[in-house]
Amino acid sequence: MVRWLLLFLGIWVSYPSFAEECRVALVQAELAWGDVTKNLEAFDARIDQCRDCDVILFPELFTVGCEMKRKDTGRIVPFQTKAEVATRFAEVLHRMQAWAARSGALVIGSTVYQEEGRFYNRLLAVYPNGDYRYYDKHNCFKKGGYSPGERQLVLEWKGQRIATYICYDLRFAEWSRNEGQYDVAVYIANWPDSRRTDWNRLLAERATENQAYVIGVNCAGTDPYGIRYAGDSQLVAPDGRVTAQCQPYEEEIMKVVLKSK
């Protein structure tokens, strides 16, 4: 009423426009390597630490971890096969749907999926209403046993256009090329400490060359083969500046805010 009265009197008023905020939780977690049940239990508890967030990001293969054997140890470590993990795909999806409904957030993480004899490192992006979309890792190690996906995935949520990628994709600039279709690129990973310098450098490069925000979410801790993971989960601005970063080698849930343009 006041506004209309002022307009009638010929007094122009303007109200500030507030950019929509998207609150993102970067879950830098130690994984129970090879144990789907323990990981599902652990991430169920972590969901409650991500209250008031719009997006919750887990590391790559949060259900089981990557099988990356050290050649110099000669150790044989029991590890669930991809086929065993893939049989629990429906269970993982159901749990992620429950987490998304409980938190009201878009929940993103990857697990193993099998179809027609082929295995995929499948990223699931699950909405609070139970709907989901997926992205199969495109750039795969030749000896990793996964088949490459062939399509990109860009999600629209809370004023953000979010492109999703997995680990090794980070090394391939052309696959991440932004032609104006996304505002933020997300890379979830099991990126070993031995290549830590590359992780930090490549996240900055992808941000600057694509003029977009970049979020990297990596696991922390040590796997059964003695390979360490520093985490270094972070938010990088389009100019390459790291604006927020988790403590290295430690479990942490860091919350950042993105504002729509």
Enumerate the active-site residues. Answer: 60, 137, 167
Query: Cα(5)–Cα(172) distance, rounded to whole angstroms?
Result: 59
Q: What is the side-by-side strand order in the sheet with 234-236?
A: 154-157, 160-166, 184-189, 213-218, 234-236, 242-245
Pick the closest to residue 215 from 195, 190, 189, 194 (CA basis): 189
Cα angle 222, 227, 231; round to 5: 60
- Our measurement of the distance from residue 201's CA atom to the centroid of its chain's CA atoms, rounded to an integer in Å, reads 18
Query: Cα(58)–Cα(37) distance, rounded to whole angstroms?
Result: 16
Name residues whose C-beta falls within 8 Å of residue 39's C-beta, 6 or more positions apart in sequence. 31, 32, 62, 63, 64
The region that residue 158 occupies, defined by phi over 0 for left and psi between -120 and 50 for alpha, beta otherwise, is left
Query: Cα(34)–Cα(88) distance, rounded to whole angstroms?
Result: 13
